[in-house]
Chain A
Amino acid sequence: MNTVLTTSWFRLKEFFLNNPKAAIGIVLVLGVCILCFFAPLFTDYLPNARIARPHEAPSAEHILGTTRMGRDVWSQVIYGGRISILVGLVAGIFVMFMAMVVGISAGYFGGIVDNILSFLTNVVMVIPSLPLMLVLASYLDQVSPLVIAIIIGATSWPFGARVIRAQTLSIRNRDFIHAAEVMGESKKRMVFFEVMPNMLAILGSSFISTVIYAIMTEATLEFIGLGDPLSVTWGVMLYNAQQTSAIRIGAWWEILAPSMALASLAIGLALINFSIDEISNPKLRAQKIMAKFRREQAKENKRHKAQAEGKTGSEMVGGAV
């Protein structure tokens, strides 16, 4: 029992040391998520409560100051993060689902299925997403964060579908798939147990990219004014700050807080994404391999040096006596 824990702890530590980018990324993302989803532990104020004077600078009571309406910025950031992150996740899941269904089917089944699905993918891809989102959002009466998530999801899946299709195609033509076919494995089993496991890296990477994209696009759409001004999300915080000319009157904290939140989450996710890339493609791990090599070289040199010095030292000591 003890050894299992220590070996897994040891493995974990080594993983983090070998992959500093992943380590930092995971810490950032986990940090933001914990702050947001356990928000009541970190603040006393409700995000929508008017409890102070407008546009107060950061102080002991309100560590990130207050907004125009007298609301606590720190509370808004961490409660608002819940919705922003959820939107990213919902959009990400929606996109991944669509992309996987379309991409894997097209790549695996080929033929007419592939033609139809590819055509569909290309058409949706070619219609530019931001204008489409603007058109959709301006026609709808009221655009809540959930609706934004759906709109983003519905317009962004083609990219993922294309990548997944290409990957599926390349796996499909490998020997072990042919072997499984010959063995008589059912198509359904093959898709889930042979093809997909080999695509985990790319699926993971696509998912994370989509989440980053979704969170940023939601913030951008809300900043332009397409969101629901009464909800509390990072994008709406930026919108309200802009509407009340926060920067112009020197209330920098109102803009800085949601920006830092967005940036931290994005950086964290991007670093994780990058590490997935690196772990799965050793060619990209060049500098880490080099760094590790150099580190071990240095250790060797030090040991040799210590040995050499040790000999002389003991000789001298021995000699002295």
Chain B
Amino acid sequence: MRYLLQRLGFYILAFLVAVTINFFLPRMMPGDPIQSFLARLAQNGGQITPETVKALESLYGYSTSTPLWEQFFTYLQSILHGDWGMSTRFFQPVVEVLGRGMLWTLLLVGSFLLISYTLTTLGGIWVAWKRGSRFDSILTVSSVIVSSVPAVVMALMLYFVFASDLGWFPTGYAYDPALDPALTGEFIQSVLYHMALPLIAMVLLSMGNIMGMRSNMINQLGEDFIVMGWAKGITDRKVMFNYGARNAILPVITAFAMSVGGIFAGSLIIEIIFNYPGVGQVMFQGMVARDYPLIQGYLLMMTLMVLSANLIADLLLLALDPRLRTSVL
């Protein structure tokens, strides 16, 4: 248990670091939500009058009188209370804006994780078992090639060929706008249909990870206890799963925790290109409009996600790896 508490303490500290970065960054660099708002207005050919500016300044009320430390603590307090500020792009609380998008992103990323890890683990195990064969070398080379194509390009190709040109898949939205969200078969079907192409893109791009699992498995297969298993006369399949895979999966879980940040990064690109209304799309709009409260909220939210993933991974490792349990006295 001490192990767990240690990890928890570390995570809290890391979160505080993220909050601190978020606090000091805008105060160190130029940034003005009012100008960003006016920039958007100007770009759309709107009339900008001196009166508009005054009204906005009144609305956003910047104060420069309180000392920095005090400001920091009020900021920290508001973060912990769930008040992450007001988005200047959407005129809504940042938590609401991010929450709306997070729902869809979690759906996409969750399904992706499920499919991709199943595929890569099983694929990696099988391929490692069959190492030396023709199939192995073909898979190795093709996965290297597929994972080297820039994600952006792969997504663009898929979008333009399958969604735009052929029309086999929808070109945006999370579900058909004519439907109302409800737990009906029709709605669920629509959601799945709209999620399909982004999901396929993400899975294709992650195929390179098969190689990681394969290397792990191969390393394991040379270990003594595997030979012992054979000597004992246990069936091939049992050796593969109970002895080989169980050990090889440990670094995979650790790798998963470390890669969560990267997965959300990947989903951001996918969402932008496929016009999927997840948190990545929201972020992109916020970035273009330089909506600093939103961008900072995104950093905090992502940090929270990564920390949670790490925590879950720690718990899983604790459950799967008896060595960790006994080493903690």
Asked whether, in the complex, the Cβ of B144 is within 8 Å of the Cβ of A271, the reply is yes
Residue in B132, B145, B150 whose beta carbon sits within 8 Å of that of A262 in the complex? B150
Task: Find residues 279-318 in chain A having any chain B CB closer than 8 Å to their own CB.
Answer: 281, 283-284, 286-287, 289-290
Asked whether, in the complex, the Cβ of B153 is within 8 Å of the Cβ of A127, the reply is no
Q: Which chain B positions have C-beta within 8 A of A138?
A: 287, 290, 292, 295
Task: Find residues 299-313 in chain B having any chain A CB closer than 8 Å to their own CB.
Answer: 299, 302-303, 305-307, 310
How many residue pairs between the two chains, A and B, have CB atoms under 8 Å in the bound complex?
A: 147
CA distance A219 to B160 in the complex (A): 20
- Could you say which of B25-33, B47-55, B86-94, B320-328 contacts chain A? B25-33
Residue of B nearest to A274 (CB): B144
Q: Shortest beta-carbon distance, A42 to chain B, in Å?
A: 23
With known contacts A139-B26, A286-B131, A287-B131, A220–B150 Cβ distance under 8 A? yes
CA distance A216 to B262 in the complex (A): 13
Q: Does B115 contact A (CB under 8 A)?
A: no
Give the 6 A-B residue pairs with the shortest CB-CB distance, closest first.
A128-B261, A130-B265, A266-B148, A259-B153, A139-B29, A286-B132
Asked whether, in the complex, the Cβ of B150 is within 8 Å of the Cβ of A216, the reply is yes
Q: Shortest beta-carbon distance, B270 to chain A, in Å?
A: 11
Q: Does A159 contact B (CB under 8 A)?
A: yes
A contacts with B: majority SS: helix
Task: Find residues 31-48 in chain A having any chain B CB closer than 8 Å to their own CB.
Answer: none
Asked whether, in the complex, the Cβ of B148 is within 8 Å of the Cβ of A270, the reply is yes
With known contacts A134-B283, A134-B295, A128–B306 Cβ distance under 8 A? yes
Asked whether, in the complex, the Cβ of B303 is within 8 Å of the Cβ of A262, the reply is no
Q: Does B296 contact A (CB under 8 A)?
A: yes
CA distance A289 to B153 in the complex (A): 36
Contact surface of B with A, Cβ cutoff 8 Å: 10-11, 13-14, 17-18, 21-22, 25-26, 28-31, 131-133, 136-137, 140-141, 144-145, 147-153, 156, 160, 164, 211, 215, 218-219, 221-222, 258, 260-262, 264-265, 268-269, 272, 283-284, 287-288, 290, 292, 295-296, 298-299, 302-303, 305-307, 310
With known contacts A119-B10, A131-B299, A259–B265 Cβ distance under 8 A? no
Q: Which chain A positions have C-beta within 8 A of B260?
A: 128
Q: Does A196 contact B (CB under 8 A)?
A: no
Q: Which chain B positions have C-beta within 8 A of A127?
A: 14, 17-18, 21, 299, 303, 306
Contact surface of A with B, Cβ cutoff 8 Å: 21, 119, 122-123, 125-132, 134-136, 138-141, 159, 212, 216, 219-220, 223-226, 238, 242, 247-248, 255, 259, 262-263, 266-267, 270-271, 274, 277, 281, 283-284, 286-287, 289-290
Residue in B147, B153, B272, B305 whose beta carbon sits within 8 Å of that of A224 in the complex? B272
Asked whether, in the complex, the Cβ of A130 is within 8 Å of the Cβ of B14, the reply is no
Q: Shortest beta-carbon distance, B141 to chain A, in Å?
A: 8
Q: Which chain A positions have C-beta within 8 A of B148?
A: 212, 263, 266-267, 270
22 pairs, A vs B, C-beta closer than 8 Å: A122-B14, A123-B13, A126-B307, A126-B310, A127-B303, A130-B262, A130-B302, A131-B298, A135-B299, A138-B287, A138-B290, A139-B31, A140-B29, A220-B269, A224-B269, A226-B287, A263-B145, A263-B148, A267-B145, A270-B148, A274-B211, A281-B215
With known contacts A267-B145, A277-B215, A129–B265 Cβ distance under 8 A? yes
